[in-house]
């Protein structure tokens, strides 16, 4: 049983990251479907590494540089998997008029103006939100930058994975990476994924419900928006959902810290 779960976790790591895994994996479509239960656990792995990199760098470098290095390591770990999805989604939804046009543009490996602007915006937001969280921590620390990173990475992957269960898959390409998951996903795997992704919320004190409600609101909005745009979802759109969820988590944490600081002063 333990060996099987470890195999599923390693499949999830291989699916979402560039981290080398053993070639002895028992890989199959069914196992990939079940591995979705550990997608948020992969988020924990990435979050822990990014937080650790930030800590080490902050011992001898400015906070701003430490955040940039931490973000860069995150890109290397995932190969920009989710950022690429965001860029393709924005190019497709921004440049296409019909559903077919939008899906066709998303499949294009070239990046357009919408994708470029989206990447610049999301990366800038991540950097400045984390920087401001770090600044507030210097004055009033209840939930520091490490907590923000550890909450956002697994939680955002839980949200994006959950969209698979409420929307139909709309890309016809047989080589699309997320297609096997879309065709066969079990509720038990979703529940495990959500549980693991939400464990980080235990780090929260008075802002638990703010984070939960904001993420739920984003989930409802994205379900409506994706359905309105293409009548379902694509793998790229799940990447976009992860990025938006991560940034939203940072924004809520910063807002809560700022409000608490205002109350205390």
Which string of b and e fits 225-241 if b means at least 16 CB within 10 Å? Answer: ebeebbebbbbbbbbbb
- Residue 205's pLDDT band, with cuts at 50, 70 and 90, is low
- Residue 129's pLDDT band, with cuts at 50, 70 and 90, is very high
- For residues 189-200, average pLDDT: 86
184 belongs to a structural domain = yes
Question: Does residue 69 or residue 35 have the better pLDDT?
Answer: 69
Residue 166: both structure tokens together = 């409420």
106 belongs to a structural domain = yes
In the numeric block, the tokens 């297609």 are attached to: 179
**Residue 238: its pLDDT value, please?**
94
117 belongs to a structural domain = yes
Residue ranges making up the domain that contains 69: 40-264
* 54 contacts 150 by C-beta, under 8 angstroms: no
20 belongs to a structural domain = no
Residue 177 has pLDDT above 60, yes or no: no
Dist. CA 111–CA 87, nearest whole Å: 7
72 belongs to a structural domain = yes
- For residues 37-47, average pLDDT: 92
Residue 64: both structure tokens together = 């701003």
**Residue 202: its pLDDT value, please?**
75
**Residue 124: its pLDDT value, please?**
97
* 77 contacts 49 by C-beta, under 8 angstroms: yes
**Residue 54: its pLDDT value, please?**
94
- For residues 81-96, average pLDDT: 91
- Residue 145's pLDDT band, with cuts at 50, 70 and 90, is confident
Residue 28 has pLDDT above 90, yes or no: no
Helix/strand/coil for 207:
coil
1 belongs to a structural domain = no
12 belongs to a structural domain = no
Could you write out the three-class secondary structure of 125-141?
HHHHHHHHHHHHHCCCC
Residue 140 has pLDDT above 70, yes or no: no
Dist. CA 101–CA 72, nearest whole Å: 33
Q: What is the pLDDT of residues 223-232, one digit of tens each?
A: 999 999 999 9
152 belongs to a structural domain = yes
Residue 123 has pLDDT above 70, yes or no: yes
User: How many independent structural domains does the chain possess?
Assistant: 1
- Residue 77's pLDDT band, with cuts at 50, 70 and 90, is very high
pTM of the model: 0.89
């Amino acid at each position: 049983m333990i060996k099987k779960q470890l195999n599923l976790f390693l499949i999830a790591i291989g699916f979402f990251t560039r981290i080398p895994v053993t070639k002895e994996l028992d890989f199959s479509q069914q196992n990939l479907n079940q591995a979705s239960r550990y997608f948020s656990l992969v988020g924990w792995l990435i979050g822990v590494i990014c937080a650790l990199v930030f800590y080490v760098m902050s011992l001898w470098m400015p906070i701003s540089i430490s955040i940039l290095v931490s973000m860069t390591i995150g890109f290397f770990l995932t190969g920009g998997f989710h950022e690429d999805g965001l860029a393709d989604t924005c190019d497709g939804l921004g440049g296409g008029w019909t559903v077919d046009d939008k899906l066709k543009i998303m499949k294009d490996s070239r990046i357009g103006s919408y994708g470029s602007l989206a990447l610049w915006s999301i990366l800038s937001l991540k950097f400045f939100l984390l920087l401001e969280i770090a600044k507030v921590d210097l004055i009033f620390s209840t939930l520091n930058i490490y907590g923000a990173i550890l909450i956002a990475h697994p939680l955002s992957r839980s949200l994006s994975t959950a969209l698979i269960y409420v929307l139909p898959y709309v890309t016809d390409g047989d080589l699309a990476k997320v297609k096997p998951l879309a065709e066969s996903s079990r509720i038990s795997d979703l529940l495990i994924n959500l549980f693991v992704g939400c464990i980080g919320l235990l780090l929260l004190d008075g802002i638990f419900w703010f984070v939960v409600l904001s993420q739920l609101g984003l989930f409802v909005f994205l379900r409506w928006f994706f359905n309105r745009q293409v009548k379902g979802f694509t793998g790229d759109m799940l990447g976009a959902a992860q990025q938006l969820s991560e940034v939203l988590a940072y924004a809520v944490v910063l807002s809560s810290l700022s409000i608490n600081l205002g109350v205390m002063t």
